[in-house]
Structure formats: structure tokens, C-alpha cells
Amino acid sequence: MATADLRRGYILGLSAYVIWGLFPLYFKAIQAVPPVEIIVHRALWSAVFGALLLLVWKHPGWLRELLAHPRRFAVLAISGSLIAGNWLVYVWAVNNGRMLEASLGYYINPLVNVLLGMLILGERLRRLQWIAVGLAATGVAQQLWQVGSLPWVSLALALSFATYGLIRKKAPVAALPGLVVETWLLLPLAIGWILLHPTAVSSQAAFWTTSEALWLMAAGPVTLIPLVCFNAAARHLPYTTLGFLQYVAPTLVLLLAVFVFDEHFDPGKLVAFLFIWAGLAVYSIDAWLTLRKP
């Protein structure tokens, strides 16, 4: 692979994960808007921006192929519902002082991917993968013992995003058209919600004269631009390299939580994170060793 392609891939991949890692700053800017309302507008403006993007970034024949296989609409409706639920939990966590749990969820995510591969796809786990999953499970169990309840934010984010990825992996639809169709399928629900909530923050005329209205409209580009960067990076980088870069986003969320938004990083949470980080280290070693094999 050419050095220029690798450099471009790293820049695009890091751009995607840095944007995702800085999402809390964006959601804090519109925290006066309730989480459900943010998700409604995220679906609305993503659909609009995605349609414009498809006019520029051509995907010849994608709509004809999709119409020829109508069952794929049902698959995209399910995946769209999953990602909308993931967005909702994430926004709620950020705006309710639970960013550390959100960060933990995305650290767990690659290990949940491995587990779902075994349970759903019938993949056999290698020894190091079993150890990685076991360490992650120990971290979750430690939180259960320490707090007395499951870290539901972390688990909801990890499970919903991993299941979303699994469904999209099995659905033969290109990334950008697939995401745009997901948002289009959510449009009736989004518009219906707006019509049924005339007292909502964004339903007031005065709201659209504020800076928060522009932030809300920016939900479309904020959602789709990192995805475009990610998919472009995937064409220039080995998939394993992208797997390592994915740790950038939850690390940035963790740093923002502790050093910018003053969330308390108590010893119990630290122990859970240490187990998860150990699991990720073992997972990364396994991926590196596998990559080195002929």
C-alpha cells in the first residue's frame, strides 16, 4: 500500500474518531434541549444532509438495488431503531453526568463484537479472545458488586452499537446510502413527534432565533461527516489498524469527563476500567498476532 494512501487513511481515521470523541462538547452546547428532542432533530437533519451528500458523493444504482430487495428496508428499519436508541442513551448520559459510563461502554464495544461473533455468527474464539472477554466481564461484575446495580448505560451503548454493527455487516447496503435510508425511515416518527409536541423547545418560534437552533441543525453534518471520514479511511488502512484507532474516541470522552466536566473518577470505577483496559490489551495483542500470521 502506498505511503500517501496510508497517511491519508490515518488522517481520515483519526479525524473520524476525534470527532466522535469530542461529541460531548457538542451535546453540552444544546443540553437545554431534552435528549429525545435532540434525537428527533438528529434524525431529521441527518436525512436532509444525507440526501444532499448523496447528490455529491455518487453511489450509482444503490436505490435501484435496494428497491429490488425490499426486505432490506426492514433490516435498515431495525438498524435505524438501534442506532437511534444508542444516540438517545449517549445524549442522556452526556447531559446527566454519566460520561464515564458512556466511555466505558465504547471500550467494552469491541469485546462485545467478539462475543456476538461467537453467539450469532458461530465464530470460534481464540484463547486470548476468551481471556479478553473474561477480563471485560470481570470489570462489569466489579461494577455490579461495587455499585449494587449493572452499569446499564455502558451495557446499553455497547450492546446496541455492537448489534447495529452486526446487522449492518449482514445487510448488503453501502455505508452512506444505508445510513441515509435509516434516517429516512425514522423521518415519519421524527415529524410525528414534532407535530404531537407543540410545546417542545424546538417548536417555539423564538428558539430558532438562538444559537442553539444552529447547533441543533448541525446534527446532520456532525453525524455524517465522521462516518464519511471513517469509510474513506477504511479504503486506505488495514481493518486491524482501524480497530486500534477506535480507542481514541472513548479515551477522549474519558478525559473530557474527568478534566473538563469534573466527573468523579472513584476507585471503584478505576478498577472496572483497569479490567476493561486489560481486556482490550489482550484483544489487541491477539489481533496483532493474527495479522502477523501468513
**What's the DSSP call for residue 258?**
I
Q: What is the mean pLDDT of the chain?
A: 86
Q: Is 123 helix (H, G, I), strand (E, B) or coil?
A: coil
Express each pLDDT in 107-134 by its tens digit. Answer: 888 888 888 888 887 878 788 888 988 8
Q: How far apart are CA 121 and CA 157, in angstroms?
A: 21
**What's the DSSP call for residue 57?**
S
State pTM to two decimals: 0.86
pLDDT score of 42: 93
Within-domain flag for 1: no
For 31-60, what is the mean pLDDT? 90
For 138-153, what is the mean pLDDT? 79
The full DSSP string for 147-208 is HSS--HHHHHHHHHHHHHHHHHHHS---HHHHHHHHHHHHHHHHHHHHHH-TTSGGGSGGGG
**Cα dihedral across residues 81, 203, 176, 60: positive or negative:** positive
Higher pLDDT, 124 or 201: 201
For 203-211, what is the mean pLDDT? 90
Q: Say which residue the cell 473530557 belongs to.
A: 256
Angle at which helices 219-234 and 3-21 pack, to 10 degrees?
150
Within-domain flag for 230: yes
Higher pLDDT, 66 or 59: 66
Within-domain flag for 83: yes
Q: Which residues of 65-75 are buried (b: 16+ CB within 10 A; e: fewer)?
A: ebeeeeebeeb
For 141-148, what is the mean pLDDT? 75
Residue 98 reports pLDDT greater than 80? yes
Q: How far apart are CA 44 and CA 163, in angstroms?
A: 23
Q: Which residues of 147-173 are buried (b: 16+ CB within 10 A; e: fewer)?
A: eeeebebbbbbbbbbbbbbbbbeebeb
For 24-38, what is the mean pLDDT? 93
Domain limits for position 37: 6-292
Higher pLDDT, 8 or 90: 90
Within-domain flag for 58: yes
Within-domain flag for 32: yes
Domain count across the chain: 1
Q: How far apart are CA 172 and CA 204, in angstroms?
A: 41
